[in-house]
Chain A
Amino acid sequence: MKAEIRKIALTVNGQQMSIDVEVRALLSDVLRHDLGLTGTHVGCEHGVCGACTILIDGESTRSCLTLAVQADGCAIETVESLGSVSSLSALQEAFRDNHGLQCGFCTPGILMSLCAAERHGEDLEETLTEVLGGHICRCTGYQNIRAAIEAHWAKSVTR
């Protein structure tokens, strides 16, 4: 059973590329397994848990509910586009300083949703409720995620 293949153009974390994908392939699987960007995690594959969240043309999107071919011509940003181990972004620093992660599996998706919220100028309340509300974390009880968001919004986010 060979699936139909189609060539798509993507800009992933600033890098332009053209790749062949199965038309049925999920964007999450293409990012992880074809492009090796394994920072995007897959938690439920039905769009509820939010672990797979990435940015497509700046909008936070569930990559497990998106076919790769739907992203043809789009700019994609994943957690790998944020800071590095030796130079964390301000948001990543806030998560580390506030113990906003434990196992770290849900964390990349949360970070990407927060990136979009920050760029869109969402206020703290909206971010804590609507934006964080799109993510399931089983380890932290959310308290320290909220603390990280509060710290980052207080320090770095300009309205």
Chain B
Amino acid sequence: MTAETGIRRPYVGQSVLRSNDPKLLTGGGRFTDDLHFPGMLHATIVRSTLAHGTIDQFDAVEARAESDVALVLGPDEIASATGMLPCVWLAPDQRMTHIPIVSRKVTYVGQPIGIVVADSRAAAEDAVEILDITFAELPCVVDSEAAIAPGAPLLVPEWGNNICAQVDAGDPRDEIEEVIARAAHVVERRLRIQRVAPNPMETRAVVARWDAADESLTVWMSTQTPHHCRDHLATALGLRADQVRVIVGELGGGFGAKEHLYPDEVMVCLAAMRLDRPVKWVEDRVESLTATLHGRDAIHRARLALDANGKFLAIHSDILGNLGAHPSNVGLGPFRVSMGMLPGPYHFERAGGSLTAVLSNTTPTGAYRGFGMQEATWVRERLVDEAARELGLDVVELRVQNMIQPHELPFTTRTFQPYDSGDYPEGMRRTAVAARAEANVTSEGRIRRGLGFATHVEFTGLGDSRSQQIVGFSLGGYETAKVRVDPDGSVSVTSGVTNMGQGIDTGFAQLTADHLGIGIERVSVRLGDTASAPYSATGSIASRSMTVGGGAVVTAAGKVRNRMMAIAAHQLEISPDDLELVRDASGRDVFQPKGSPDIALTWEKVAESAWLNWNVPDEFNTIGLEETFVYNPVSVSYAYATHAVSVAVDLDTGLVKLEGYWVTHDVGVMVNPMICDGQVHGGIAQGVGIALYEGMRWGDTGQPTTTTYLDYVLPLSVDIPDVKIEHMVTPSPFIPGGMKGLGEGGTIGSPAAVGNAIAAAIPEIAGSLLETPFSPSKLWTMIDEAGLHV
């Protein structure tokens, strides 16, 4: 699809309308479940109904006898046909490093244990009902503190406990303790971030087709990481990578949940290979809430130490992270990032964390928008607010006085984060000025009002590769772009990142058009097919598509432009320095000698001659107009933001209403401000869900109790106020194009801002606002216990 016409260069910085919106608005988007192939069968995954136990019997005789059932595979058949999935991010001495596709040992409700394939999804679901499966039940544990208590049920008995790994970060513990011991003031709290489910509106989905003659597997799937899925499918199914092609159509949101290959997705491909027919599987919402990775679930025992003047001295957190039934693809990653990003934008003499990550009989936890940074911000910013309250200091002034100053950047934190550029205090001040001028903080009767702040620095644009190696993350941190001008002058761009609804394809078209110097209507961006996209193990995660992927596009486009200029200059018999590429009065892109508009070569003419290899410079050692550039950034780039939110809390119901929201955000160069704002809006809404509504819960027997949207509450329009965004623009000092990532910032800052606003509204309960979500019932109880109900 090409973008709209009519807008003139430069496109970067303009709110160019998104190229694929017309398709999405008319029902023409092709999501995975929209695909249909002749002879296609439908799969349902058989899942554990127990939290902990062993499968004694998996009897499918009756189901297999049904005329509309094509295949049933139980745990033994699947296990004998599949290899293990490697965990990609490993902690030192992590006790579990590979995940079997299936096992007779079940460790959470929803764990895939088999697959049924039938003529229709309904027939497959019917057949699951007549499987004869018996389990031997074992005692279970769902809570992380219970999992490390003496006598806890053990998921891996030979370990002797449920601890999968322990990692420290930052300064040595004894140095941190020494600083805390001499501090005039220490704020210490136990803070908790609940278990949440990412909930993309499109659930996971797979259509797999095996070509027996060609011995190749084509898989259409809803994923953020097509090459990663291809590699792991090949590993799990015993195929060569070149036998597997993964294609991503439209993606109905990902938010981190679709950043790796799941065991049930392997089962669908195995079934297609066995049957030699296309097989479709679409996860239902109950499965999405129980079998797609969750996020968060961390308990922090955290301390902030200050001197008598309110200067921050040290911050430390002992983190207990709940991995769920097994370490996910990213394992301890989110909890480790919490330690790394705990210092935020502030100076500390010493900082660090100690992480204990445990197994429990729950859905595994993995990547979710904010990836440890939301948790770190919740902990740090609540502690800072508590310090201000206890010391009688202004929450904004306390923050500003402790911030890293712009002239100190680049600055490496005590947890080894090389912050690059920006002005953190200015962002804080701008937010405070706007919010304090506009927020209504006047309480009326039983309605209390308050204004809360939170500020953070955000790790964006995962790479470089060397740093990935240092932290044990087996993903290349680079990204590749391929830009080609075809003989008719049209331009194709591809990259290893994916469009998951954020609109990266439109952003790439803007970058390409600018760096080629032509109209955007010539540019089409195609992503998500491993047969045509450059290799990317990492894909669209970690707010990196526009930073690392965009940096590659900028550079590749610039190289193609240089080639075009060299050919045109050669044909006009002038130096490229004397040549310009302009859009003439009739709307054509033409090369002309500077100051001589009467002599012109059209873009199309140059493209055509390049591919004919006629009249090109003698020194050219390649033919054509295609450039591939692999961009490996020198470092992560760091965005930052300050959030402010005003709330009204009804003391009699505990209901929190957000009345105003202000953000100052610096994401470097904004390629498309409309899309940037949209990312911030959407991120904030997900953070508000964490702050007020969302949460996975389990009963004592490990049965999840929040398996529909009636029980798992997501924010609706009425819950989310309009957000006023102010942008600061500090270009990244090293990313070509100057962009920084912004996909996650909205989610990182908002829960802490909401918590601090409630604390400001009801200072009587501020000290106990430590565990999200603040549902009306929870807040009502706290208000009641504070004696505010008379």
Contacts and interface: CB of A to CB of B under 8 A. Distances in A.
Contact of A85 (B28, B199, B674, B681): B28
Interface stretch (A65-73, A116-124, A135-143): A135-143
Interface of A: 1-3, 22, 24-25, 32-33, 36-46, 48-49, 51, 78-80, 82-86, 88, 92, 95-97, 99, 101-108, 111, 128-129, 132-133, 135-146
Contacts of A24: 122
Nearest to B200: A138
A43 B201 contact: yes
Max chain A Cβ within 10 angstroms of own Cβ: one of B25, B29, B681: B25
Contacts, number: 184
A1 B123 contact: yes
Contact of B31 (A41, A88, A145): A41
B86 interface: no
Given A1-B123, A49-B201, A103-B252, A138 B26 contact: no
A46 B678 contact: no
Given A92-B25, A103-B202, 9 more contacts: A41-B252, A45-B284, A104-B24, A129-B717, A139-B682, A141-B685, A141-B723, A142-B717, A143-B723
A144 B678 contact: yes
- Interface residue SS majority, chain A: loop
Interface centre among A3, A38, A92 (most CB of B within 10 A): A38
B501 to A, nearest CB: 3
A140 B201 contact: no
A136 B709 contact: yes
Contacts of A40: 27
Main SS of chain B's interface residues? loop
A146 to B, nearest CB: 7
Interface residues of B, number: 62
A92 B26 contact: yes
Contacts of A36: 36
Given A136-B716, A141-B685, A37 B285 contact: no
B21 A101 contact: yes
Contacts of B26: 39, 79-80, 82-85, 88, 92
A33 B36 contact: yes
Contacts of A142: 681, 685, 716-717, 720
B21 A103 contact: no
A2 B23 CA distance: 37
Contacts of B25: 79, 82-83, 88, 92, 95-96, 101, 104, 107, 111
Given A2-B68, A138-B200, A95 B21 contact: yes
B22 interface: yes
11 contacts: A39-B27, A79-B25, A79-B26, A86-B22, A102-B678, A104-B24, A105-B31, A105-B202, A136-B714, A143-B681, A143-B720
Interface string B143-154: 000000000000
* Among all A-B residue pairs, the 7 with the closest Cβ atoms: A39-B27, A103-B501, A104-B24, A105-B252, A141-B681, A141-B685, A48-B709
A32 B502 CA distance: 25
A102 B31 CA distance: 14
B503 interface: yes
B93 interface: no
Interface string B689-721: 000000000000000000011100010111010
Contact of A103 (B27, B251, B684, B723): B251
Given A51-B201, A103-B501, A85 B284 contact: no
A78 B549 CA distance: 37
B566 interface: no
A133 B714 CA distance: 12
B501 A139 contact: yes
A125 to B, nearest CB: 12
A96 B201 contact: no
Contacts of A3: 122
A108 to B, nearest CB: 5
B17 interface: yes
A93 to B, nearest CB: 9
Nearest to B69: A1
Interface centre among B28, B30, B66, B677, by most A CB within 10 Å?
B28
Interface string B639-653: 000000000000000
A111 B29 CA distance: 15
B253 interface: yes
A8 B36 CA distance: 23
Nearest to A103: B501
Contacts of A48: 708-710
B68 A137 contact: no
A119 B576 CA distance: 60
A2 B126 CA distance: 10
Contacts of B36: 33, 36
A136 B123 CA distance: 29
A80 B26 CA distance: 6
